[in-house]
Structure 1
């Protein structure tokens, strides 16, 4: 046991000391505990607590929460751009700058903020549970919200910046669009006419994985690259591929097979005697929203 502790301590000595004092960054065990508690609540405790209760009405909170994340994601994108991606990075092989240069420290700060935002976004799933929308807690959703924050923590702890941060910036861009849609959707029926682009969110997410994978794949074709963490390159490429497959399947199930038809198509199907509906149940021949 002493040997394992010593190995862990020696390993953590290689971490970036500049980010060590930021919240959640002292130890991976705190983060692991938060994520395990999240999974336990979502899959077990939460549904049991809500079993004999009515779904909570969280509409106002959801509007505020989603638009807060729009603003936060915009700010993260801006900081990534100003910390390197528009102020010196080549968009090819960009190593992590471990100096005390103001731009390098700015990159450390936004890398931490990105990781911290992933823990804020765990609230997405908590909202599903409290509103008894348990069917929305899919494998894809749970995997994305629980596994990736763990990976991103290690990335920020050891290598905040460089070419490995490109995917974080692109992800934040996508989240601006995604949470804008969620915010408008939560705002009520008056905004339904502005939500015609729902299907395009998945297309944007698929494009994200292609762009990230193409960018990180440059590493494999360069004669030399001074980026210090090849393991992060491999992980980003693997995650990009896995999520492209998972989201492609979501697209196929939701749109190609018609499980998430636009509202007009749903109404036409119902008029013709079909029972196609989204996130609802059929009661006496009518669609009842959950």
Structure 2
């Protein structure tokens, strides 16, 4: 390979040649690495360095109303993506739940699926606000390696899949992930309404378990193209499985540490809206 690719950018050009041709004509910065990579690096800097430094001599901001509005937006956005994606694929698009290859068609339905993945990436970018809320409220202890790495990884992988294979097999994981976000942010919103609802929110302790179960199910589902020839690239399946398994390890570690610390099991990610801290 070293004799074939004389310069690093030749390898980049070669890999980029496999990009989904359907989005090459899109005039969108979100699909470009020159936008996403600096965006993620900027997020990491603000989360771990710039944000805490800027807030050092400032009082925490009271942004409860803003967080409540963000909870509602996140629930509605994820619910929309899930329902629309199901309508276009498994429910009305003839997708196979078992194994579905990536498409290359430019029909109205095919382009709608790809476009919806673009919107879903924007929703995941908006999740960066969770971390910024921590910074604004000086809850720096919540900006953990798990929290930051998860948000950064989800955006990078979403960008990668958008460019190289966002339809087909990953659609199942997108729908399930959107559903889990609906559950999580519904809880956050209800809990923030006041103590009168606390007795109805007994299911809080299951949120992290749901997150781990989601990862296990999606990882298993993404492994199917390795054994079933349905047209989805095996390299993308392996890459997805590696990413998800890392998430399983990190989430499970959080789960076990939380139980050892006192038997509580709150959600591992997206905790910016925990009402007891507002």
Q: TM-score surpassing 0.5?
A: yes
Q: Normalising by the residue count of structure 1, what TM-score does the alignment of the two structures yield?
A: 0.83
Q: Normalising by the residue count of structure 2, what TM-score does the alignment of the two structures yield?
A: 0.87
In structure 2, the CA distance between the partners of 1:2 and 1:186, relative to structure 1 (3 Å rule), is farther
Mapped partners of 2:220, 2:10: distance in 1:
38
**Secondary structure of the residue that 1:197 maps to in structure 2?**
helix
Structure 1: which 5+ residue stretches go unaligned? 263-287
Structure 2: which 5+ residue stretches go unaligned? 267-275
Aligned to 2:12: 8
Aligned to 1:17: 21
Number of residue pairs matched by the alignment: 264
1:161 to 159, 167, 171: 167
Aligned to 2:35: 30
Mapped partners of 2:137, 2:68: distance in 1:
14
Mapped partners of 1:17, 1:261: distance in 2:
44
Aligned to 1:232: 236
Please say if 1:152 is aligned against 2:158: yes
Point out the more displaced range, 186-195 or 52-61: 186-195
1:196-207 alignment runs, 5 A limit = 196-207=202-213
Aligned to 1:41: 46
How far 1:22 moved relative to its partner? 5.7
1:58 to 50, 59, 63: 63
Aligned to 1:253: 257
Kept after mapping to 1: 8 A contact 2:255/2:265: no
Mapped partners of 1:117, 1:207: distance in 2:
22
Q: Which has the higher contact order (CA 8 A, sep 6+)?
A: 2
Mapped partners of 2:166, 2:245: distance in 1:
23
Kept after mapping to 2: 8 A contact 1:22/1:112: no
1:118 to 116, 124, 133: 124
Point out the more displaced range, 212-221 or 103-112: 212-221
Point out the more displaced range, 125-134 or 102-111: 102-111
Mapped partners of 1:180, 1:23: distance in 2:
31
How far 1:137 moved relative to its partner? 0.8
**Secondary structure of the residue that 2:87 maps to in structure 1?**
helix
Kept after mapping to 2: 8 A contact 1:94/1:162: yes
Please say if 1:220 is aligned against 2:236: no
How far 1:289 moved relative to its partner? 6.4
How far 1:7 moved relative to its partner? 4.1
Kept after mapping to 2: 8 A contact 1:79/1:106: no
**Secondary structure of the residue that 1:216 maps to in structure 2?**
helix
Kept after mapping to 2: 8 A contact 1:164/1:232: no
1:102-117 alignment runs, 5 A limit = 102-117=108-123
How far 1:246 moved relative to its partner? 1.5
In structure 2, the CA distance between the partners of 1:155 and 1:136, relative to structure 1 (3 Å rule), is same
Mapped partners of 1:221, 1:144: distance in 2:
28
Kept after mapping to 2: 8 A contact 1:210/1:244: yes
Please tell me whether Structure 1 or Structure 2 has the larger radius of gyration of its CA atoms. 1
Point out the more displaced range, 191-200 or 123-132: 191-200
Mapped partners of 2:82, 2:29: distance in 1:
21
